[in-house]
Amino acid sequence: MLNVTEIERILPHRYPFLLIDRVEEITPKESIKAYKNITIGEHIFQGHFPGHPIYPGVMIIEGMAQAGGVLAFKSIDGVTEEEIKDKVVYFMSIDKAKFRHPVTPGDKLEYQISVIKNRGKIWVLDGKALVDGELVAEAELKAMIVDK
């Protein structure tokens, strides 16, 4: 399990764009389960949508990517925290994205990411987002670890 402070040692993202609160499970080179608590205090709700707050699908996809980034970094054999600070994960593609149910304040958005393929610095990930066990979004993500 990783808390938000430990996540910040791995990812360069910070508030308001750090979109995972905790990692519950991680199996290097295989899968990760992380989550974000969605609250009405999210800045995005000021404009999306006033009086009818819906968490944007693009933010859900970014949360999947951030969880995938933690998985990728935690899967590199022998990498140190200092070496991680000099690297970043870039999106290469997002495929098969589907949004199945709106996410609203009060939801606990759970990310389940699994490795489809890994070749060197390239990762292909299957991402799923769930709320209360119900699939709300999914996508196939391709990313690459690069030097900053």
Each residue's pLDDT tens digit, 66-99: 999 999 999 998 888 888 989 999 999 999 999 9
pTM assigned to the model: 0.96
CATH number at residue 133: 3.10.129.10
How far is Cα 34 from Cα 142, in angstroms, rounded to an integer? 18
> According to the model, what pLDDT value does residue 108 have?
98
Write out the residue range of the structural domain in which residue 60 sits. Answer: 4-147
pLDDT over 90 (residue 13) = yes
Category of 96 on φ-ψ map: left (φ > 0), alpha (ψ -120 to 50) or beta: left
Q: What is the pLDDT of residue 35?
A: 98
- Residues carrying an active site annotation: 48
Instruction: List the Cα angle 79/80/86 in 5-degree steps.
Output: 90
Look at the chain and report how many structural domains it folds into. Answer: 1
Question: Residue 124 carries which DSSP code?
Answer: E
CB proximity list for 98: less than 8 A, separation 6 or greater: 137, 138, 139
Mean pLDDT calculated for residue range 99-117 = 98
Could you tell me how far CA 22 lies from the centroid of its own chain? 10
The answer to whether 111 touches 96, Cβ cutoff 8 Å, is no
How do residues 19-74 score in pLDDT, each as one tens digit? Answer: 999 999 999 999 999 999 999 999 999 999 999 999 999 999 999 999 999 999 99
- What's the CA gap between 98 and 138, in Å, rounded? 5
Would you state the pLDDT for residue 79? 86
